[in-house]
Amino acid sequence: MSVITCVAPVNIAVIKYWGKRNEELILPLNDSISATLNVEYMRAKTTVMASPTFKENKIWLNGKEESFENPRLQHCMKELKQRARKNTDVVNWNIHVCSENNFPTAAGLASSAAGYACFVYAIAQLYGVEGDITAIARRGSGSACRSIYGGWVQWHVGKSDDGSDSFATQIAGVSHWPEMRILTLVVNSSRKKCSSTDGMRRSIATSSLLKYRVDHVVKDRVEGIIRAIKEKDFKAFAEITMKDSNQFHAICSDTYPPLSYVNEVSRRIIELIHAYNELRGTTKVAYTFDAGPNACLYLLEEDVPEVVALIQYVFPSDTERVEYFKGLPINPGSLSDELK
């Protein structure tokens, strides 16, 4: 019997991934960029047990058994086995996997990113896989490839048909911009009605704005935000982040039938952040929303107390649906430093 437990944090995209050019290989339409949170905060924790006595592979997610026949799990397993260190008995044993998230699953807070990064990382450790594993994590969920590294991470779109050049790299470590903070505002913790996978499939089929974004908008934004991160230009960083989130949700509206991930509270948060930035005479906070109503705010440490007080004032938890928020330092290292 061999057992390993790993943790992996979520990452919050500032340039969004939305749409695949290859469903099976999970190859994206465009580069995406994110920051990885500190693993102490929102994370998946996964224990993998391998034993010659297990009759089949099994997986439990948040205490409930799920099917191991899931093609994404199968693809990850196949690639991990191909890359396994030779002559390892454990590779031929069946496994039992238990994973739990300490934050809402499938609510637009990147659970698939933390979950598959953790799954792939844990089994890579068990099998002695060496080298970059981001392209394997990508086979579980696209966004998962970015959770393998800490700090600021870019998932490269790649050109090849086999996906060999569609992997993630670190743009900058957390020490590059140590004042950066992320606040998560949980507006609604229930499961989204339409998964990210199904939503982006529908957008590809029906949204002309998605095509416009890929052909004419996103490349400049990627370049612009990399420059802003490298130069620690918060204003430019924040503007691109908010515009990209807004364009992603515009694509959701342009999808047919439309996808509405943000709700009334999300829209009030957007208005509040713009009003606050205007009041302060400069851009102090950026919002971004994934495929769900929950907001992630990027801001600098010195502004956290005032912004938290403002959120508390405008959305007192007893009367509004903003339930909690936390200041989250970005993960200080790569996932490999976080092995527990």
Contact 35, 332 (CB under 8 A): no
Pick from 7, 9, 10, 16 the residue near ligand DP6 by CB under 6 A.
16
Contact 163, 141 (CB under 8 A): no
Pick from 196, 207, 245, 277 the residue near Co ion by CB under 5 A.
196
SS3 195: coil
User: Any residues with CB less than 8 A from the CB of 155 and at least 6 apart, and which?
Assistant: 17, 28, 31, 32, 33, 34, 134, 138, 142, 143, 145, 146, 166, 167, 168
- C-alpha distances in angstroms, 166 versus 134, 155, 266, 292, 330? 9, 7, 32, 26, 24
With CB under 5 to 8 Å by kind, the binding choice for 338 among ligand ADP, ligand DP6, Co ion, none is none
Pick from 4, 26, 133, 270 the residue near ligand DP6 by CB under 6 A.
26
Residues 88-127 that bind ligand DP6 (CB under 6 A): 110, 112
- For the chain, give the longest Cα–Cα distance: 65
Map residues 271-290 to x or -, x wherever contact with ligand DP6 holds by CB under 6 A. -------------------x
- C-alpha distances in angstroms, 336 versus 122, 136, 193? 10, 15, 34
Residue closer to ligand ADP by CB (options 59, 307) is 59
- Minimum distance between the CB of residue 138 and ligand DP6, rounded to whole angstroms? 8
Residues 120-179 that bind ligand DP6 (CB under 6 A): 141-143
With CB under 5 to 8 Å by kind, the binding choice for 122 among Co ion, ligand ADP, ligand DP6, none is none
Taking contact as CB under 6 A, which single stretch among the options 13-21, 51-59, 98-106, 210-218 is the one that binds ligand DP6? 13-21
Residue closer to ligand DP6 by CB (options 108, 277) is 108
- Minimum distance between the CB of residue 141 and ligand DP6, rounded to whole angstroms? 3
- Minimum distance between the CB of residue 222 and ligand ADP, rounded to whole angstroms? 21
SS3 304: helix
- C-alpha distances in angstroms, 154 versus 24, 211, 247, 305, 327? 21, 21, 19, 30, 23
- C-alpha distances in angstroms, 62 versus 52, 106, 150, 185, 311? 25, 12, 24, 22, 30
Residue closer to ligand ADP by CB (options 127, 276) is 127
Total interface residues for ligand DP6 by CB under 6 A: 15
Residues 94-153 that bind Co ion (CB under 5 A): 112
With CB under 5 to 8 Å by kind, the binding choice for 32 among Co ion, ligand ADP, ligand DP6, none is ligand DP6
Residue closer to ligand ADP by CB (options 30, 196) is 196
Bridge-based pairing of strands 58-61 and 94-101 is parallel
By CB under 6 A, name the binding residues for ligand ADP: 44, 61, 99, 101, 105-113, 115-116, 119, 141, 195-196, 290-292
Residue 310, burial from CB neighbour count under 10 angstroms (0-12, 13-18, 19+): middle
**Which chain residues interact with Co ion by CB under 5 A?**
112, 196
